[in-house]
């Protein structure tokens, strides 16, 4: 024992633990048992198919100009993953189904769908610009609506 402590810069506790957990017959260390109990409380598992259907139910905003040739699709700028998850929770509550966790919803959204949320800043058509100006000045005409 003094050899370990004198040679290696460790305290006595790891050495005592290693010696106390070894198998006496074979003189080898036993396998680490941390995390092996299996009776941790888990949330009930929801159905990932319902998550995919929920994400597909949102309408996709048509792209303009340079975004028209990309494979990424866009949702309205009023949405976010958080808002979509809240709507998913409401849907699960009305259908009386078990919802997945927010992390699972996020993982499905990011890995299986190529969707974005931002509104185009410099990639707008003339009609979008007219609508934005008319909305601020409260002069919407029927052709712009």
Query: pLDDT 10s per residue in the chain (145 long)?
Result: 677 677 877 888 888 888 888 888 888 888 887 877 776 666 567 788 898 999 899 887 766 655 556 777 878 878 888 999 999 999 999 998 888 889 888 999 889 988 887 665 655 566 666 666 676 666 555 444 4
Q: Is-contact 131 144, C-beta < 8 A?
A: yes
Where residue 81 falls (left for φ over 0; alpha for ψ -120 to 50; beta otherwise) is: alpha
Q: How many CB atoms lie within 10 A of CB 109?
A: 17
Rounded-to-integer distance, Cα 117 and Cα 76, Å: 6
What is the pTM assigned to this prediction? 0.55
CB 98 within 8 A of CB 47: yes
Convert the pLDDT of each residue in 74-92 to its tens digit.
788 788 889 999 999 999 9
CB 67, CB 74: distance < 8 Å: yes
């Amino acid at each position: 024992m003094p050899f370990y402590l004198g040679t290696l810069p460790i305290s006595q506790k790891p050495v005592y633990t290693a010696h106390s957990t070894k198998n006496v017959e074979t003189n080898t260390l036993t396998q680490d048992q941390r995390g092996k109990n299996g009776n941790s409380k888990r949330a009930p598992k929801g159905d990932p198919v319902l998550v995919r259907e929920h994400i597909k139910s949102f309408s996709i905003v048509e792209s303009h100009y340079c975004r028209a040739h990309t494979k990424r699709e866009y949702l309205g700028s009023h949405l976010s993953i958080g808002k979509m998850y809240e709507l998913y929770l409401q849907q699960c509550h009305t259908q009386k189904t078990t919802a997945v966790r927010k992390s699972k919803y996020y993982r499905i959204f990011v890995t299986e769908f190529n969707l974005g949320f931002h509104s185009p800043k410099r990639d707008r058509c003339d009609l979008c610009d007219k609508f934005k100006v008319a909305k601020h000045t409260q002069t919407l005409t029927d052709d712009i609506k």
